[in-house]
Structure 1
Amino acid sequence: MEARREKKKTCGTICLKYLLFLFNICFWLAGGAVLAVGVWTLVDKSDYISLLNSSFYSASAYILIAAGAIVIVTGLIGCCGTLKEKRSLLIVYLVLLLCIFLLEITAGVLAYVNYKECFPFCHQLDRELRQNLKLTMQQKYQQPGQESITQSVDKLQQEFKCCGSQNFSDWTDSEWIQNAQNQQLVPDSCCKTPSDLCGRRDHPSNIYRVEGGCIEKLEDFIQSQLYILGAVGIGIAFLQLVGMMFTCCLCRNLKEDLY
């Protein structure tokens, strides 16, 4: 009878061990995906995000990268503790999971509170960002020493299929258009089929005339990134609760097996 109970207890420990190991693999992969999204945003999209002259949006990419790295490290500790059946490593893993979970809850509460407090000023902030982008495009495009801004604007207009900050007519007041000797009306990157000096015609058949201009396209992209950040946070938080439950059970079973 005693041997049967010991065998049953050992089988339960083995099942928990492999369940927790499988969980850690999923947790590790989730961290890798989060890290990849953050790096992709920072490397591929940072050029035109920087046009807004605001660190708020680029901060979301750094948060994704940091969160992904922490999840990967935590997952590796969990895998090592599970495979070697080291209660000390499992306790460290449990504490890390708990700390990350509490940080996520705190960050979510602070974000909600700050959003409620700043809500009356959000439209003012939005107008300032729109104005910043418009001035950057009008004053720095094709100007000496502003090659990176020029490339970012061209990339923004081509990738999002838009022209101007809010409208193609924004380019009328730009320093480059006013000083140009080639009678350009808009940059060549506004054209649906870019070619040299194609920006001399601003007819709808030739250039993009998207309602709201590039700023709305850019804001939609940034909003989607923030949604991804929120969804990832909720998903990881759920995984952490499952992981903490498995870890507690495995630690208890290992302690019982030891005695």
Structure 2
Amino acid sequence: MAVGKVTFTKAEREKLAEVLWLLNWISVVTGVTLFGLGVFLKIEIQKWQEVMSEQGILDVPHMLIATGLAACCINFLGGKICLDCADTNKFLRWKMMMMPYVVCTFFFTSCILVGALMCYSIRGQLEESLFLGLRNAMRYYKDTHIPGRCYLKRTLDQLQIQFHCCGNTGYQDWFHVQWISNRYLDMTSSAVVDRLRSNVEGKYLMDGVPFSCCSTFSPRPCIQQQVSNSSAHFNYNLHSQQLNLWRRGCQQALVDHYTSIMQSIGLTVLLVWLFELMVLTGVRYLQTAMVNVLLLGDPDSESNGWILENSLVETAWSNFNIIKNLGKCYQTDDDPNINIPTAAAEQEIPAKQVQIDMTR
């Protein structure tokens, strides 16, 4: 039994073909939209890719870009096909192309759904990538003279200023890394030497943060050095000075930033998928209805269209039997291709033997 069986008159088939022609052109616009969203997301990610440990997150914009280009090409061709399908004679030119076109549209529509799901499932990977990337960037913050790392200081400062954040998970993260280069340390000072020797790895650690961690809403000059020492500053209490430094970590700030972008993109892509699914369904109905018209031999008659010719169970069972019989080896007595002598063949064999004996 066919799934989604619908009967179409000639006028309804022509109307369906015209509507699908218009929807395919709209789909070209949605393809451009997908392409644009992918480019936008890729640019946003590349802005802060220096603080990411891996670039797996770029799979999402690459998927959107590829899907958008595919949408433009497939739907451009689909518009021409659907317009010609309004005429039975023109449909004959596309008859062999319709089924491959429907299959390609199905896989392309599935890719759109995958792209939408990737936008919502990337948060965990993004959190881990930013945590490891920010941790490494903070370690190399001081290496402004080393090629490949010289821009990390500027990147981190811009990040902390723009997103009002400090450190990886908080400003205390700067207490565990040496963010001041040895070139700016006074090695003749006993205090500096003692601090270097007090650390197992010989690092100059202190309870201080870079200037970019200072809050612009602070009512007093920013306290960057000896942040945890309340007695070192006048009228200063670490726990009450909430506006002195940015309290939010940059990992959380970037995760929230990218999550909001991807949720908006994911919703848009999901709506595009629903639209493309509607177009795919219409194309499938048009294809099956036109094929049945050719089988009937009367272009003016009614014809049936469907999504699946058989039920899902019958289709799955049929495909299972086809796969099961692939490469099947028949026994000698069961082989349907074995040569079985016929009565005529048995009569020809003695005649050939007589001719051979006469030649001898």
Paired residues in the alignment total: 235
Question: Displacement of 1:70 after TM fit?
Answer: 1.8
Q: Which has the higher helix share?
A: 1
RMSD over aligned Cα atoms: 4.0
Question: Displacement of 1:214 after TM fit?
Answer: 0.7
Query: What code does the residue aligned with 2:282 have?
Result: F
Q: Judge conservation of contact 1:48–1:153 (CA < 8 Å) in 2.
A: no
Alignment of 1:175-214 (within 5 A): 175-177=178-180, 179=182, 181=184, 185-193=208-216, 201=224, 204-205=242-243, 207-210=245-248, 213-214=249-250
Question: Displacement of 1:20 after TM fit?
Answer: 1.0
Question: Displacement of 1:127 after TM fit?
Answer: 6.1
Whether 1:130 aligns to 2:153 is: no
Tell me the secondary structure at the aligned position of residue 177 of structure 1: coil
- Alpha carbons of structure 1 residues 52 and 95: separation in structure 2 relative to 1, 3 Å: same
Alignment of 1:60-75 (within 5 A): 60-75=60-75
Question: Displacement of 1:128 after TM fit?
Answer: 7.5
Tell me the secondary structure at the aligned position of residue 14 of structure 2: helix
Q: Judge conservation of contact 1:138–1:173 (CA < 8 Å) in 2.
A: no
Q: Judge conservation of contact 1:9–1:253 (CA < 8 Å) in 2.
A: no
Whether 1:172 aligns to 2:175 is: yes
- Alpha carbons of structure 1 residues 174 and 48: separation in structure 2 relative to 1, 3 Å: same
Structure 2 residue aligned with 1:98: 106
Structure 2 residue aligned with 1:235: 271
Distance 1:97 1:127 in 2: 35
Q: Name the larger-Rg structure.
A: 2
- Alpha carbons of structure 1 residues 45 and 101: separation in structure 2 relative to 1, 3 Å: closer
Query: What code does the residue aligned with 2:77 have?
Result: I
- TM-score, with structure 2 as normaliser: 0.53
- Alpha carbons of structure 1 residues 29 and 78: separation in structure 2 relative to 1, 3 Å: same
**Unaligned regions of 5+ residues in structure 1, if any?**
1-7, 116-121
Distance 2:144 2:222 in 1: 17
**Aligned to 2:280, which of 238, 244, 251?**
244
Question: Displacement of 1:68 after TM fit?
Answer: 1.9
Whether 1:139 aligns to 2:175 is: no
Alignment of 1:5-84 (within 5 A): 9-84=9-84
Distance 1:17 1:141 in 2: 65
Identical amino acids, percent of aligned pairs? 21
Query: What code does the residue aligned with 2:11 have?
Result: C
Distance 1:25 1:147 in 2: 49
Whether 1:159 aligns to 2:170 is: no
